[in-house]
A and B are shown apart, each in its own frame.
Chain A
Amino acid sequence: MGTKTKAKPFDEMTLDEGGVRNAYAAYAQWLEETSTERLTRKHEQADIMFRRLGITFTVYGRDEGTERLIPFDVIPRILDASEWDILSRGVIQRVDALNAFMHDIYHDQDILHAGKVPAELVLTNVAYQPQMLGHDVARRVYAHVAGVDVVRVGEREFYVLEDNVRTPSGVSYMLEDRQTMMRLFPELFANHAIQPVDRYPDELLRNLQSVAPLGIDEPTVVLMTPGVFNSAYFEHAFLATEMGIELVEGQDLFVGEDGVYMRTTEGPQRVHVIYRRVDDDFIDPLAFRGESSLGVAGLLAAVRKGWVTLANAIGTGVADDKAMYVYVPEMIRFYMGEEPILNNVPTYSLRLDDDRAYVLDNLKDLVVKEVHGSGGYGMLVGPASTAKEREKFARLIKTMPENYIAQPTLALSTCPTFVDSGIAPRHVDLRPFVLSGEKTTVMPGGLTRVALEEGSLVVNSSQGGGTKDTWVLRE
């Protein structure tokens, strides 16, 4: 498998033999000339900026409505043009394949007939929505916004951990982290050619307008949020403001006789595209969870009549399922006739007897994840686990094997990070944001998440991870 934990993981800045990588040449020198006191001061300033802006995150399972800051690290993650070339082509290829896959499984199901993906895995998947069968979505795009999680283990070795094609979040941190860095360290932006990311809201809006129902010249786009208590509410409000569109909740919308409307002070107003940040299950109480108060009754029927476009489409969850993940390379070959640019992490399906036996014997070296879980909840990191936790997971796996997958523990790359003890390497991942509409594009950058605890591999913000600004340098 070749992914065994090395003694020392790949570092984004420093070379094993000493010295620094090209991308960090200018930054490393600046860092050397900068005192720890100055960094500490900047670090504190950043904290105040974020708190005053209210860029907070709600942590579930704690006191209701606990607001927390996602720690921001002042040392950027830097990628040079050649590294970004691989990454950007790789994630675009993946999202294109996933969109083709979703069109296929909701239409002719060629890939299932060809035996490349087990039909029962798709058709009995809880995220598969039979109501979408035969429905043509605008431009055949299902995942208008995707956030693909990538980790790095070597110079040119990138692995995709997850394709988030439901309602991925984090893009506001990408934008705010950049703003903060520019305010804190303007001099760095003068001596680095950093590709800008601030046009993202513009591109997102154009992308959403491009998938409006046919025949609408000036579509009205809205952003639908579950409300102020959602953990990503800040981001919803932020994006709505930046795009200059209404931020609606389910109660603000209704399905009329010829379209979907929002309740405004001047009466009902027609809506054409809904960028929704509400999960499938909650979006339409008539079609899905009846008790949901977050959705709009009859919305699915309105979608099927072509009155309104939902972004992302209903039923995308089937494609970013951890069980489906295994087949993404196959999808790329099947639909695009290309070899995957980014690697898949070898994955054990625990419903298979051989795989399960191996995993149960080697829990200590593996990462076990829930198939439908997200946000780092319900996850076992073998090397960091206690015997008791491993016992618990062994029990869970035996009871509901189809609910879990296991993967080898990857040696995630590290990046210098400013922590209490000074500058030290910490593990990072990267979530670039991919937009699909008229064409597929990716912002040069993304959200770098960093595990602030020494040695920790869990970067999720819900588990105490932080973020870094991500720089992509021009050639």
Chain B
Amino acid sequence: MLGRTADNLYWMARYLERAENTARFLGGIYRMSLLPTATAGSGAQWETLFLSPEEHEEFLSRYDVFNQENVITYLAEDLDNPSSIRSCMCSARENVRAARHVLSTEIWETINFTWLEICHMEYAEIVDMGIYQYFEWIKERSHMFRGVVHGTIQRGEAFGFWQLGTCIERAGNTARLLAARSDSFRSTASRQEGVADFYHWGTLLRSVNAYKIYREIYRSSVEPRKVAELLLLHPDMPRSLRCCLDEICSILNHLRDDGDCVRDAEELRARLVSGRIDRILRSGLPEFLDDFGKQANTLSTEIQQDFMMVR
């Protein structure tokens, strides 16, 4: 397969996954904003989606305040924000288009149909559709796309690069989700949970379809420590860092006998396999996540180099 085609498949997967995750996070925040808490209505919750000072600055250079309308506009439909849902769908479509010759017509039709629906959609239309319904719809389209790809893509390299893109992006997004809440680990790790906190963590779990899995595995009430453990280290939780790295390693081993990317992926995975949640929380979750993010970026760059993907 052409290196460039591999690149297209990899990014097609990343953009779709990113769009879905953004929809999940925004949906989660939206639900939390409807809960009766002290911070409701202040916009503080919407601000948690912006992790770094650069992200804050970028947002505030064009919007005056963090509130529902501005944040949803920026993260869902702003075409000047390359990571907005609409931009991601556009980029995903361009990548599918460039790799059309190795993809089924159904894959193209699914993304193209989504794009035709979303390409003119602005905040007013999102409100009109129903904010919650909109995020559900994005998720549905992403599920459908994943199903079509899984059912029709050629096994071997094409399947591999698509999976790699999905897993790397997914791991990165789960890490972001936890990072956005990492402050609350400091303040509440040892304290008794309040009712509001319970709803917060419940909503967070639901936004990544982890609520039932949590109940199944822990059979206890929702505690931040266990939430972190589930999303970081548990191999059976499909959106956990550990699960994503398991898949990445298995694919890379399948595609390559050797190479920087294979070694680095194994190393990253080993840290998650041997990691203990208490130790991670003690030495600082934000630091752990930050470190993970950097290594995941290096891994992504190495994958692109090892497989002659050009960019």
Contact = CB atoms under 8 A, between A and B. Distances in A.
Q: Which 10 A-B pairs have the closest CB atoms?
A: A240-B101, A237-B100, A247-B101, A241-B101, A265-B307, A263-B3, A263-B308, A265-B6, A54-B112, A237-B101
Contacts of B310: 251, 263
Interface string A248-275: 1101100000000011111100000000
A266 B310 CA distance: 14
Contacts of B109: 52-54
B1 to A, nearest CB: 5
Contacts of B101: 237, 240-241, 246-247
Q: Which of B3, B94, B109 has the most CB of A within 10 A?
A: B3
B306 to A, nearest CB: 9
B108 interface: yes
Interface string B279-300: 0000000000000000000000
Contacts of A241: 100-102
A86 interface: no
A249 B4 contact: yes
Contact of B116 (A51, A238, A246): A51
Nearest to A262: B2
B100 A252 contact: no
25 contacts: A51-B116, A52-B116, A53-B109, A53-B112, A54-B97, A54-B108, A54-B112, A228-B94, A237-B97, A241-B101, A241-B102, A246-B5, A247-B100, A247-B101, A251-B4, A251-B310, A252-B3, A252-B4, A264-B1, A265-B1, A265-B3, A265-B157, A265-B161, A265-B308, A266-B1
A202 B199 CA distance: 61
Nearest to B103: A241
B130 to A, nearest CB: 25
A252 B4 CA distance: 7
B113 interface: yes
Interface in A220-234: 227-228, 233
A246 B2 contact: yes
A52 B112 contact: yes
B184 interface: no
Contacts of B108: 53-54
Q: How large is the interface on B (under 10, 10 to 19, 20 to 34, 35 or more residues)?
A: 20 to 34
Contact of A252 (B2, B113, B116, B307): B2
Nearest to A223: B101
Nearest to A240: B101
B161 to A, nearest CB: 8
Interface in B256-311: 307-310
Contacts of A265: 1-3, 6, 157, 161, 255, 307-309
B98 A264 contact: no
Interface residues of A, number: 23
Contacts of A51: 116
Contacts of A262: 2
A51 B308 CA distance: 34
Contacts of A252: 2-4
Nearest to B110: A52
A53 B109 CA distance: 6
A151 B157 CA distance: 48
Interface in B1-43: 1-6
Interface in B227-276: 255
Contacts of A264: 1-3, 308
Interface string A54-94: 10000000000000000000000000000000000000000
A237 B101 CA distance: 5
Contacts of A240: 101
Nearest to A49: B109
Contacts of A238: 100
A248 B157 CA distance: 17
A53 B105 contact: yes
A185 B100 CA distance: 28
A220 to B, nearest CB: 12
B123 to A, nearest CB: 23
Interface string B135-158: 000000000000000000000010
A182 to B, nearest CB: 16
Nearest to B4: A252
A248 B99 CA distance: 10
Interface in B85-113: 94, 97-98, 100-102, 105, 108-109, 112-113
Given A52-B113, A251-B310, A264-B1, A228 B98 contact: yes
A423 to B, nearest CB: 30
A7 to B, nearest CB: 45
A51 B101 CA distance: 18
Given A252-B2, A264-B1, A265-B161, 8 more contacts: A238-B100, A246-B1, A246-B5, A247-B100, A247-B101, A263-B2, A263-B308, A265-B309
A227 B4 CA distance: 12
A247 B2 CA distance: 9
A266 B98 CA distance: 20
A429 B308 CA distance: 46
Interface in B193-250: none
Interface in A392-450: none
Q: Which of A54, A227, A241, A247 has the most CB of B within 10 A?
A: A54
A429 B136 CA distance: 49
Nearest to B112: A54
Contact of A228 (B5, B97, B161, B307): B97
Nearest to B105: A53
Nearest to B7: A265
B2 A248 contact: yes
Nearest to B102: A241
Nearest to B104: A241
B9 to A, nearest CB: 10
A56 to B, nearest CB: 10
A241 B96 CA distance: 13
A364 B84 CA distance: 55
B145 to A, nearest CB: 14
Contacts of A53: 105, 108-109, 112
Interface in B154-172: 157, 161
Interface in A189-238: 227-228, 233, 237-238
Given A52-B112, A53-B109, A54-B108, A263 B4 contact: yes
Nearest to A251: B310
B28 to A, nearest CB: 32
A266 B6 CA distance: 11
Contacts of B102: 241
A178 to B, nearest CB: 16
A13 B1 CA distance: 49
A227 to B, nearest CB: 8
